[in-house]
Amino acid sequence: MSQVNSDLWTLVLGILGVLCVASTVGYILHHRLSPNGSNAAIENLNARIKAWWIMAALIGLAFLAGRIGVLLLFGFCSFAALREFITLTNTKRADHWALAAAFFVVLPLQYFLLWERQYGIFSIFIPVYAFLLMPIISVLRGDTERFLVRIAEVQWALMICVFCASHVPALLTLNIAGYEGRNVLLIAFLVIIVQLSDVLQYVWGKLFGRTKIAPKLSPSKTVEGFVGGVASATLIGAGLWWITPFTPLQAGLLAFVITMMGFFGGLVMSAIKRDRGVKDWGNLIEGHGGLIDRLDSVVFSAPIFFHLVRYWWSST
């Protein structure tokens, strides 16, 4: 336990140091180049830095509260993300009972199964049982207009916002020899690397970006930003091997996998936003849009990371 605290505090101090440097840079840029708030890029950067402070504080408090804190935090994130997703769907009055089941039955049950460490049912509850339950509840209302589209959207919302997101706290259930009591650091590794990859892709893109990688989906993403961000995050992941049960090479390879999944997850969620005709999923987080705008990379990488670690390192 002392080793966990030592590693966690080292990580916390490192994150605080990075945030302090970012805040100082943002302050200087604001006063020198945008004293009246005229530079949109600088103002957006400072809004993002403020949001990073808030998110870091919330995650830190959850870690201090232990397993229950982490489950409550991600349970809330799933609820808020599901709400954002549903507001952009074509659901009708006939779907209200199905939506109520999604929010107040399926979501809490998924996290309760995590609390009970019931991996067998946790891993198939939404893809199998909720997948079948949603259309059954809706069809009983007798409204068949756009039925397939309405049900598919609710099922997608549950998969992305609840099933995928719940794989982040699911890392706490893994039983890794010689790593007992340190699983919270796996969550830190996942979130830090995926979020850093997003930030570094943005920075590299602003500095050297020339070639659009997906102009119709995300005009700000460039090939140069993608390569620089993924490579940088992969190297940082290898450097953080000491908080994981992995060797530096293994940590780097896993970091590469989750940054790639995070990138493509961002593109998928951007495609949904374009289809719905919106810029952001919401406005919950100043400078970042909605909660899904921050979780999109994490939710696509979390299940892959969880199952790779479970298969290769966990005994359960």
Q: What is the pLDDT of residues 18-61, one digit of tens each?
A: 788 878 887 887 787 777 777 766 776 677 677 777 777 877 77
Strand partners, 212: 222
The rounded mean pLDDT for the chain is 87
Contact 27, 53 (CB under 8 A): no
Contact 137, 101 (CB under 8 A): yes
pLDDT at residue number 133: 92
**Span between the terminal Cα atoms of the chain, in Å:** 21
Residue pLDDT, tens place only, 273-287? 888 888 777 666 555
Contact 8, 184 (CB under 8 A): yes
pTM, rounded to two decimals: 0.88
**Spatial distance between the Cα atoms of 122 and 314, rounded to a whole number of angstroms:** 17
Task: Name the band, by pLDDT with cuts 50, 70 and 90, for residue 311.
Answer: very high
Question: Phi and psi dihedrals of 112, rounded to 5?
Answer: -65, -40
CA distances from 299 to 77, 154, 306, 315 (A): 11, 17, 11, 24
Q: What is the mean pLDDT of residues 207-212?
A: 86
Contact 305, 275 (CB under 8 A): no
**Spatial distance between the Cα atoms of 40 and 305, rounded to a whole number of angstroms:** 36
More confident residue, 293 or 283: 293
The burial class, CB within 10 Å (0-12 / 13-18 / 19+), for 180 is exposed
In single-letter form, the type of residue at position 136 comes to: I
More confident residue, 215 or 76: 76
Contact 222, 213 (CB under 8 A): yes
DSSP 216: T
- Give the alpha-carbon dihedral of 62, 81, 268, 191, to 10 degrees: 0
The burial class, CB within 10 Å (0-12 / 13-18 / 19+), for 254 is buried
Give the residue from 27, 55, 72, 38 showing the smallest Cα distance to 293. Answer: 55
Handedness of CA 86, 87, 89, 92 (dihedral sign): positive
Q: Which two tokens stand for residue 288?
A: 């970042």
In single-letter form, the type of residue at position 49 comes to: I
Residue pLDDT, tens place only, 103-135? 999 999 999 999 999 999 999 999 999 999 999
CA distances from 158 to 86, 113, 185, 269, 271 (A): 10, 16, 26, 14, 18
